Structure 1
Amino acid sequence: MRNPRFLALTTLEKVENGAFIQDAFDPKGLKEADRNLAETIVYGTVQNKLFLDYVIHRFVKKPENLDQNIRQLLRMALYQMHFLDRVPDHAIVNETVKMAKVISNVGASGLVNGVLRQVIREKDEAFKVHIDDEVRRLAVTYSFPEEWVRYFQRLLKDETEAFLKSTFDPAPLTLRPVSVSAEALIGELEEDGFACESIKPRPAVVVKHPRGLFETEAYKEGRFYVQDAASQAVVSLFTTDKEVQAMDLCAAPGGKSFQMAEIFAHVDAFDASAERLVRMEENIRRLGYKNIATAVRDGKTPLPKKKYDRILVDAPCTGLGLIRRKPEIKYRVGYDDVLQLARVQRLLLENAYDALNDGGELVYSTCSVTVEENEGVLHSFLSDHPECRLKEKGTRYWPHRHGTDGFTMACIVRKDA
């Protein structure tokens, strides 16, 4: 029988070395309760990494000398002691010390034992953040690099802490009904025992406890696709026209292409990744779309001369709007990455525009909330193309305001020649 805490540790080591949690976490062979525990420890430890290190540094004399695997063990243990209540503290200590003996030496296990027992003695005081500087306090409390705390303070002002706090909220599993109404989908899933509700800004359906959802007939017969509500709002910026040809330039995994297929005659779905398109094609078959053609194509290079009336550029980005789902992003992405990606996004937008007919619409979106990747790219593009205008003011979704992923979107209209 696999040990859930050892699985959590090995997963965290992979994440520390650059993997994403969703790729590194492999719960095969675990009972459901153990799987849930391991997954909770992994996500919670990554979400709170800077805060947990702050606590560690209070109790370890030379924290810079800690082996990385012992640091991970301490993070895991402190996370469980402070945030979870299903296991007594003494049991967490005993289990962690046993693991330290397996992966290191007697000295390391003694250090682990000493640190955790001192934390128990201090109780809640051990986890209090005593920092006067506001940026540093927010960075430690919400485990956000100080660079990003300052950035969001400039952007959000007195909403900054609410945003940082919201990145710890569980991200809902949201469905987009396909070929059925939200009401009909909810009715079917509720008959199968799932608790659901319909939410805005789209006829989106949130499933509160989704375990087993992908074994349902509703899934197998293509009556829904998993897609956050903010992501669903992107395609609604287009003017619907069942006669036009459309293109999705960065299509995989495909959710927006599927929406486009329902309101346009045909969709050419391009993506630079052949592997991602294979997974997209599996969903095309499951959902029953007949008017989508996929092809491997890098949008950073000039496109074929075919013209379209509707084009979507859902550009690769920092993903800072997805931190509830991928907390590791906040430690990996810096401001220099924003500027580098903005140049790529600008190129993608230009290449897409070359394929847009006069009078056509081009929707630009990202799952990021930075100005540089969104307003900055749009401003640069519109400055170079006075023949274009925004259809309406762009929209940004925030997790602390809307309960959705962070998403930014706008529609550009190419004036008739």
Structure 2
Amino acid sequence: MPPSRFAVPAEVPGLAARRIAADILDGVLHKHRTLDDQLDGAGAHPGLKSLADRDRALMRRLVSTILRRLGTLGHVLSRLLDRGIPTDAPRAQSALLIGAAQILWMDVPDHAAVDLSVRLVQSDRRAAKYAGLVNAVLRRCAREGLALVEEVKTQSLDLPPWLMARWSAHYGETTAREMALAVGHEPSLDLTVKSDAAQWATRLHGETLPTGTVRTLLQGSVTMLPGFSEGQWWVQDAAAALPARLLGDIKDKAVVDLCAAPGGKTAQLALAGARVTAVDRSPARMVRLRDNLTRLGLAADQVTSDAVEWPGNGEGFDGILLDAPCTSTGTIRRHPDVAWLRQEADIATLATLQKRLLQRAVSLLKSGGTLVYCTCSLEPEEGEHAIAALLAAESGLRRAPIGKSEVADLGEIVTQEGDLRTLPSHLPHDDPRLGGLDGFYAARLVKS
């Protein structure tokens, strides 16, 4: 009988983390599974249960570093391999990526990075014959790799060419390069706090952004941080926290959050005093929403339903927040797998769904009510173009332009039309890990 896939010799510290990292990389690059699916919930990698917190953090950093630097890693390894990366043994490919990423970007001794990658291939029947190759290539990487990285540092290799071409066409080449550079950095932890942001910034060794978000570089399990178990804050990118605020004063108003899970925006609406209904089609994600609201001590009516088919309350809503499913290209800095899982063809498919959701949202809105539409996409078809088409088709809708004062006077994130458009390169900081925003689009519309 071959050894169990998850059986790891106790005398080899760190090998378990690297083996699971290799499995998860294979899941993303060859099986098209998202990181979230492999790290949490029913589909999570079974080996995670036995990993210590330190090894779990190492594993996540390994995977995210490789996915953020995948194009550059491919360039480096292609220069060091005479015949290219072996295609008949995925574990050999993963071992090379894991070893090179540690040598080039992580605080791991070169000899340890090489040794553990060799052990990875030795423990796999198909890849074992490549142990000598992996050893030789990674030793060369330790000597020559940084110079090879320097050769291509201005070429934006770490995004798919189709995506970089789109960003260049829509935002200009200079901005596109700044965005590509921003998504290459490991991001901070952003928190929306119930109150007293300055106090929580101090307690969590972070800083308060102009928008009120607390940003920190603390690592480790979020559940162990001060204030988590007391429900004083929740994890939410600073850009993602902006759309819910655009509904204005919603105290005691009937507001629906469509496509609501996992519930960060629902929590904002509830905290602002609205009578919130949260709608999402995914039962598993609605469990997360319910658990988050329970921890935070906040309440909302919860409906598991496809928003397009949901009949509503029969009376209409004063406010609607529609955070529509999208390609999520604005979240690559936090979800680097998105860059390699999405295809350009996905944009048109999702734009069709967004059109249906927008039409349904308009039908659920009271006269005089406000609709805020948002997506975490940087693609205009899922933002600006969608709203232009809706306004052209719906004579009873008008845009309610967003003022700079509503977004902490950050004029660069408000478009000429009065919509919200954040970019990964916004909010620069001397420490790149403390800068940046997810890419978001939001428009505010009023029904006459």
TM-score by length of 1: 0.89
**1:318 touches 1:338 (CA, 8 Å); kept in 2?**
yes
* Cross-structure match for 1:34: 55
In 2, the alpha carbon distance for the partners of 1:102 and 1:160 equals 42
Name which of 115, 120, 130 aligns with 1:94: 115
Name which of 165, 184, 208 aligns with 1:150: 165
* Cross-structure match for 2:23: 10
* Cross-structure match for 1:398: 423
* Cross-structure match for 1:77: 99
| 2:66 maps to 1:45 | yes
| 2:296 maps to 1:284 | no
Residues paired across the two proteins, number: 399
In 2, the alpha carbon distance for the partners of 1:357 and 1:139 equals 46
Gaps of 5+ in 2: 1-9, 40-44, 402-417, 428-435
| 2:379 maps to 1:370 | yes
Q: CA 1:39–1:301 in 2, change beyond 3 Å: closer, same or farther?
A: same
Name which of 341, 344, 355 aligns with 2:364: 355
CA shift for structure 1 position 216: 5.3
Local SS of the residue matching 1:359: strand
CA shift for structure 1 position 198: 1.3
- List structure 1 runs of 4+ shifted beyond 6 angstroms: none
| 2:205 maps to 1:195 | yes
**1:177 touches 1:225 (CA, 8 Å); kept in 2?**
yes
**2:156 touches 2:180 (CA, 8 Å); kept in 1?**
no
Overall identity of the aligned pairs, in %? 28
Q: CA 1:333–1:224 in 2, change beyond 3 Å: closer, same or farther?
A: same
Report the AA paired with residue 245 of structure 1. A
Q: CA 1:309–1:73 in 2, change beyond 3 Å: closer, same or farther?
A: same
CA shift for structure 1 position 247: 0.9
Local SS of the residue matching 2:398: strand
Name which of 302, 313, 317 aligns with 1:294: 302
In 1, the alpha carbon distance for the partners of 2:141 and 2:200 equals 49
CA shift for structure 1 position 302: 5.3
Structure having greater relative contact order (Cα 8 Å, sep ≥ 6): 2
In 2, the alpha carbon distance for the partners of 1:216 and 1:332 equals 32
Name which of 249, 252, 274 aligns with 2:258: 249
* Cross-structure match for 1:162: 178
CA shift for structure 1 position 123: 5.0
* Cross-structure match for 1:231: 240
Local SS of the residue matching 2:256: strand
TM-score by length of 2: 0.83
* Cross-structure match for 2:269: 260
**1:250 touches 1:299 (CA, 8 Å); kept in 2?**
yes
Name which of 54, 78, 87 aligns with 1:57: 78
In 1, the alpha carbon distance for the partners of 2:116 and 2:148 equals 20
CA deviation string 1:327-376 (max 9, x = no partner): 01111212211111011011001001101111110000011111110011
* Cross-structure match for 1:327: 336
Q: CA 1:41–1:242 in 2, change beyond 3 Å: closer, same or farther?
A: closer
**1:44 touches 1:79 (CA, 8 Å); kept in 2?**
yes
CA shift for structure 1 position 243: 3.6
In 1, the alpha carbon distance for the partners of 2:67 and 2:77 equals 15
In 2, the alpha carbon distance for the partners of 1:138 and 1:78 equals 19
**2:423 touches 2:437 (CA, 8 Å); kept in 1?**
yes
In 1, the alpha carbon distance for the partners of 2:321 and 2:268 equals 11
**1:8 touches 1:41 (CA, 8 Å); kept in 2?**
yes
**2:197 touches 2:208 (CA, 8 Å); kept in 1?**
yes
Greater helix percent: which structure? 1
Local SS of the residue matching 1:200: coil
CA shift for structure 1 position 130: 6.0
Local SS of the residue matching 1:267: strand
* Cross-structure match for 1:138: 155
**1:303 touches 1:351 (CA, 8 Å); kept in 2?**
no
In 2, the alpha carbon distance for the partners of 1:378 and 1:258 equals 26
**2:330 touches 2:377 (CA, 8 Å); kept in 1?**
yes
In 1, the alpha carbon distance for the partners of 2:227 and 2:304 equals 30
Q: CA 1:160–1:239 in 2, change beyond 3 Å: closer, same or farther?
A: same
Q: CA 1:362–1:56 in 2, change beyond 3 Å: closer, same or farther?
A: same
CA shift for structure 1 position 212: 5.3
Report the AA paired with residue 105 of structure 2. F
| 2:29 maps to 1:19 | no
Q: CA 1:109–1:243 in 2, change beyond 3 Å: closer, same or farther?
A: closer
In 2, the alpha carbon distance for the partners of 1:351 and 1:298 equals 11
In 1, the alpha carbon distance for the partners of 2:289 and 2:79 equals 48
| 2:445 maps to 1:412 | yes
**2:320 touches 2:370 (CA, 8 Å); kept in 1?**
yes
**2:90 touches 2:127 (CA, 8 Å); kept in 1?**
no
Name which of 141, 153, 165 aligns with 1:119: 141
Local SS of the residue matching 1:410: strand
**2:91 touches 2:127 (CA, 8 Å); kept in 1?**
no
**1:167 touches 1:324 (CA, 8 Å); kept in 2?**
yes
Gaps of 5+ in 1: 132-136
Local SS of the residue matching 1:230: coil
Local SS of the residue matching 2:325: coil
Q: CA 1:65–1:351 in 2, change beyond 3 Å: closer, same or farther?
A: same
* Cross-structure match for 1:134: none
Local SS of the residue matching 2:368: strand
In 2, the alpha carbon distance for the partners of 1:22 and 1:169 equals 19
Q: CA 1:263–1:113 in 2, change beyond 3 Å: closer, same or farther?
A: closer
